[in-house]
């Protein structure tokens, strides 16, 4: 999947969990940082390739991307596994502990979960592609759904843009229409805090 699809999928997953499993009232700062962390988590697994959005935005990023990609075993290897998910979850946790003193009004637990939801959504979405995902590294088998590879999605094709992306948008419209009152209630608690 391309970055735009991963962004929409990660924010969709965060929204569903936010509405269906609401937490205590949270600050607006927490919501903003959590959304940002979610979007970063949604593209983090692709830092193993030089063309990743992170590397594209740095002056000499493609060189760092090549080095980093080789260190991580190439595209769709370590960063696309449960092991990689745990590793980046641990690093994010350490970063949030370090930043906590300057973010006193931010609930870093919610920010951490938002990051992890984004990262997990990336792995789930890539499971639907022809390449699949090596969920169980160090076992180097790539898993995909559906099990028949030819039925899976090819990245950056019309199927991804017009079917997958459109279905995600349609799902969001339906979901927020159905849960409008609950979302409004949650938003009032965020603005009121």
| pLDDT tens sequence for the chain (193 residues) | 888 999 999 999 999 998 888 777 788 899 999 999 999 999 999 888 877 777 777 777 777 788 877 777 777 888 999 999 999 999 999 999 999 999 989 999 999 999 999 999 999 999 999 999 999 999 989 999 999 989 999 988 999 989 999 999 999 999 999 999 888 887 777 755 5
What is the domain count for the chain?
A: 1
Q: State the pLDDT at residue 193.
A: 54
Residues 6+ apart with CB under 8 A from 57: none
Helix (H) or strand (E) holding 6: helix 3-20
**SS3 call for 143:** strand
**SS3 call for 183:** helix
pTM for this prediction:
0.90
The boundaries of the domain holding residue 64 are 3-192
Q: State the pLDDT at residue 25.
A: 78
Q: State the pLDDT at residue 5.
A: 94
Q: State the pLDDT at residue 188.
A: 78
Q: State the pLDDT at residue 159.
A: 92
What gap in Å lies between CA 133 and CA 126, rounded to an integer?
6
Q: Which of 172, 163, 190 is nearest to 16 (CA)?
A: 172
Helix (H) or strand (E) holding 45: none
């Amino acid at each position: 999947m391309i970055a735009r699809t991963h962004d929409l999928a990660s924010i969709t997953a965060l929204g569903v969990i936010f509405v269906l499993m609401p937490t205590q009232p949270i600050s607006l700062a927490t919501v903003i940082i959590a959304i940002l962390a979610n979007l970063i988590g949604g593209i983090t697994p692709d830092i193993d390739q030089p063309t990743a959005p992170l590397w594209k935005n740095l002056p000499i990023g493609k060189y760092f991307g090549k080095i980093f990609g080789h260190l991580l075993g190439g595209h769709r290897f370590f960063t696309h596994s449960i092991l990689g998910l745990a590793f980046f979850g641990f690093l994010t946790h350490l970063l949030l502990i370090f930043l906590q003193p300057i973010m006193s009004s931010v609930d870093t637990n919610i920010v951490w979960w938002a990051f992890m939801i984004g990262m997990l959504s990336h792995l789930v979405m890539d499971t639907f592609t022809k390449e699949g995902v090596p969920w169980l590294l160090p076992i180097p088998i790539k898993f995909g759904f559906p099990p028949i590879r030819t039925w899976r999605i090819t990245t950056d094709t019309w199927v991804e843009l017009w079917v997958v992306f459109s279905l995600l948008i349609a799902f969001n419209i339906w979901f927020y229409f159905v849960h409008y009152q609950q979302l409004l209630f949650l938003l009032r608690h965020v603005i009121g805090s």
